[in-house]
Structure 1
C-alpha cells in the first residue's frame, strides 16, 4: 500500500480535497484489518463532506 500512501500524501500536499476521499475509500477496500478499514472510511467521509465554513 506504499504507492497508495504516497498518492494520499501527494493529494494532501496539493490541497486536493475531493481526491483524498476517493483514495481513503480505496485504502479501506484494500485493507484486511477492520480497524484500518474504519479509520480509512472515517477519513473518506470527512473529506467527502467538503470544506467547513464558519
Structure 2
C-alpha cells in the first residue's frame, strides 16, 4: 500500500483556504472510486510531520 501525505499551503486569508478545501471536496468522490483507493481525506490544522492518522472504517 502506498500512502501519500502532502502539505499544501494556501495564500493568507480564510477565503482562499476555503476555496482550496472546496476544490478538494469536489474531487473526493471521484478519487474514492479509483481502483485500490482505500481512503482520501484532507486533514486540516495539524503541523506537517505528525504522521498518518488512521481513518475509521
TM interval, short-chain normalised: 0.3 to 0.5
* Greater C-alpha Rg: 2
Higher helix share: 1
What TM-score, normalized to structure 1? 0.36
TM-score by length of 2: 0.34
